[in-house]
Amino acid sequence: MKNLQTLTGLMLMTGLTACSLQQTTGSSAESTNSNTLLTLVDFESDHYKTMLTVTNGSSQLVTDNGQGVSQGKQALQLDMAAKQNYLTAFTLAPQDNSTWDWSQYQNFSLAIDITNPLDESTHMYLEVADSDGKLHRRSVNVGKNSSQTYHVELSGYDLGIESGMRANPDAFETNAKPFLYRWGATKEIDLSAVKHIQFSAESLLSDRRFIIDNIRLVQNPKYDQAYLKGLVDEYGQAITAKFPQKVSNDQDLAARTKRELSHLSDKLFSDRSQYGGWAQGPKLEATGYFRTTKYKGKWALVDPEGYLFFSNGIANVRMANTSTMTGIDFDKALIPQRSKDDLTPEDSVGLNRITGKALSTRHVNSEMRNNMFSWLPDYHEPLAKHYGYRREAHIGAVESGETYSFYQANLERKYGDNFMQTWKDITLKRMRNWGFTSFGNWIDPMFYHENQLPYFANGWIIGNFKKVSSGADYWAPMPDPFDPLFAERVRATVKQVASEVQNSPWCIGVFVDNEKSWGRMGSIETQYGIVINTLGRATTDSPTKAHYSQLLRQQYQTIDKLNASWNSQIASWQAFDQGVKVKDFTDSQVKDFSTLLSAYADQYFKIVRQETKQQMPNHLYMGARFAPWGMTPEVLNAAVKYTDVMSFNYYREGLHPEQWAFLEEIDMPSVIGEFHFGADDTGLYHPGAVLAQDQQDRAQKYQGYLNSVIDNPYMVGAHWFQYVDSPTTGRAHDGENYNVGFVTSADIPYQPLVDKVKEVNGYLYQRKFGNQ
């Protein structure tokens, strides 16, 4: 563990984490500059060299007899040495550490002409930063063999709209392709003090080249004031979009269903055991349950019969995240409220349909949201059973309200009154037919005892125990594991999961919690946010602070010794217990922060493991699925001590060896809990966390990602997120409207992706273990 700082590469890139993209095409870049307000860089002279900083790449000018020059006679070629470096960045900034002042312009975008001369598309980030450190960050897919104008709206009408979708349809007509906003960044920066523009790419699996030209500010066209009206049809599909999977009517839906089912077999691949393990490989000790082992230098899972096992599957196979806000609400006094004993977060409880007196109080609470739908059923109609309710939303246009699941309604259209049972059966057939060895996380418990596909169970630790803060609590505040109520809620959570699993040998393991904000590498403040914020609280208010006080008293004995180490002037231990603000960090103080953060994480993982192993001793504890923006060496070291398998959600093109070198240090079996690719050619306004050019490119990128996981000797699985596309108008919880499903909102499979998955699963075990 001594070299866990090699994790810095993986965790520093929190500024480039998942959320948004947009497809490119092969059309040529716009040549007209009639709407240009200001040309920033045109590469017609060497002046650009005073503005350009290159990180892990190279640049050179190309002339007008080459590809990619859109204005004048020269353009800039950018080469990314992806095989050697996980990150390449090209930064343009004014000379002498000054800033650009664009405050005189209104309703404008940054436009760039980009050529990709290679036969491979690329997910590229663009960042515009101001002098206060605020970042307007977006990303895009630059299509293979393409020349295209791209734009980033920096001032305009759409930036101030909270629609409840991660990306909106275009608010104005333009031939340029938009870089799409990435959640977590700032939409409106200080345009009077723009510090830099940065292009970057991360975790690419092969070297790339781009040619950029004519970086300029352009006036936005006139806005379409109705751009958020009438977006989806009765099947939840984008009305204006045309794509092969789009359903035109009920007869078309029935015909497509009949064709699929006529070719759908649930027969396992020939090299599989009944649990999906490698039946043609070595037979190891059989324990009757899944376990881990290191086989000839590679970590692996072992199935209940003793066969080597690699977990390849789809996460989030359930109805809970298929609904979208309709812009309707009810009298909240008539809505049943959550119990303090609830064990399931609001976004995971299913549709939660409103009944009784509350129905008579139904009213519009967001005309913008309500106007997005061309059709919604009346409450007396059969398809009204697919309405639901959310008592809270993470973000969005409304804080609560009525929801509708077009996906579930389409299942009833396809399969009739018994649609849930048929959906379950068809889903299992698909998983086996497509060659998946297991499900991923967040699987409806209805699948737990079908004994057809291994799965992972899931639990959430929620309750009224005290909380701490990292300073950037992405999904929710962090639990205080030193509060005795935390252990009680862990016990209740695991008890519920255990009752659902019933000691089934088909359950590989259990994930508890997800993507928690443990801390972010990059600065002392972000890495040790939990410690710094907790030190500012009183011991009477925070059990974690009380534990910190106890540890520091043991170490320093007197407050004078603490002050000498921390270069502080704390009056007494009593004053320390009331809360202290720490700044101007000394080396010894940072060392103490590391000890305190380790103590916090150790307590969390220790309690969860103890309860999991006591109540589910035959199942693997899979941890809390780390996100790159939420892990530090201290927290990972704690997880290594207590988990059976380390889990990471990682949205990139693949596993770059430079970023994942830390796995050699921790030497633990590890699994990718989430990844995906999306495109914008099926009517969804936001492709997803990592963008492909089109459906065929999604398939190719899936194969590249899986190969990088299969080839890693520490990886024992990878789980795609998710089974169904997000709702076109955004999922109710947080507005994700992504093309990340294996099936559409009408339950139509994306055949290019399915075909590629079958190919990968056909060689999975031979590639992973066959050459040993």
With 70 as the cut, is the pLDDT of residue 522 above it?
Answer: yes
Mean pLDDT score of the chain, rounded to an integer? 93
Omega into 245 within 30° of 0, i.e. cis?
no
Element (H, E) at 593: helix 587-615
Residue 25 clears pLDDT 80, i.e. is over it: no
Q: Is the dihedral of CA 161, 219, 238, 230 positive or negative?
A: positive
**Among the ranges given (392-396, 427-431, 570-574, 665-669), the one the predictor scored with the smallest mean pLDDT:** 392-396
In this prediction, residues 496-509 reach a mean pLDDT of 98
Structure tokens at 629: 């923006």
| Cβ atoms 20, 204 nearer than 8 A | no
The predicted pLDDT at position 182 comes to 82
Q: At what angle do helices 543-556 and 587-615 cross, to 10 degrees?
A: 130
Domains of the chain by start residue, with CATH:
4-219 (2.60.120.430), 324-404 (no CATH)
The per-residue pLDDT for range 443-469, each reduced to its tens digit, is 999 999 999 999 999 999 999 999 999
- pLDDT on residue 7: 53
Of the listed ranges 8-17, 53-62, 615-624, the least confidently predicted one is: 8-17
Q: What angle do CA 302, 308, 314 make, to 5 degrees?
A: 80
Q: Does position 134 have pLDDT exceeding 90, yes or no?
A: yes
- Residue 572, Cβ neighbours under 10 Å: how many? 11
Is the pLDDT assigned to residue 307 strictly greater than 90? Answer: yes
DSSP bridge partners of 766: none
First to last CA, the chain: 28
Q: Could you read off the pLDDT of 214-232 as tens digits, one per residue?
A: 999 999 999 999 999 999 9
pLDDT at 95: 87
**DSSP characters over 417-482:** TTHHHHHHHHHHHHHHHTT-----SSB-GGGTTS-SS-EEEEE---SSS-EE--S--SSSPEE-TT
Tens digits of per-residue pLDDT, 141-159? 999 999 999 999 999 999 9
Q: What would the mean pLDDT of 403-416 be, rounded to a whole number?
A: 98
Asked whether residue 171 carries a pLDDT value surpassing 90, the answer given is yes
Distance, in Å, from the CA atom of 475 to the CA atom of 345, rounded to the nearest integer, reads: 12
Two structure tokens written together for 441: 């996380």
Quick: pLDDT tens for 635-693. 999 999 999 999 999 999 999 999 999 999 999 999 999 999 999 999 999 999 999 99
C-alpha separations of 391 from 164, 177, 249, 329, 675 in Å: 15, 37, 33, 10, 29
**Strand intervals (E) in 679-740:** 715-721
pTM, two decimal places:
0.94
**DSSP secondary structure letter of residue 231:** -
Q: What's 148's DSSP letter? A: E
d(CA 185, CA 137): 6
| 3-state SS, residue 14 | helix
pLDDT of residue 24: 34
Helix (H) or strand (E) holding 128: strand 122-130
For residues 759-770, average pLDDT: 97
CB 487 within 8 A of CB 480: no
Answer yes or no: is pLDDT of 21 > 90: no
Asked if residues 185 and 135 have their Cβ atoms less than 8 Å apart, the reply is yes
Q: Which two tokens stand for residue 17?
A: 């984490």
| Percent of the chain with pLDDT strictly greater than 90 | 88
Q: DSSP code of 348?
A: G
Strand partners, 671: 647, 717
Q: Give the pLDDT confidence of 74-127 residue by residue, as tens digits.
A: 999 999 998 888 999 999 999 888 999 999 999 999 999 999 999 999 999 999
- Give the span between the Cα atoms of 211 and 225, in whole angstroms: 35
Statement: residue 34 has pLDDT above 70: no
pLDDT band at 6 (very low <50, low <70, confident <90, very high): very low
pLDDT at 10: 53
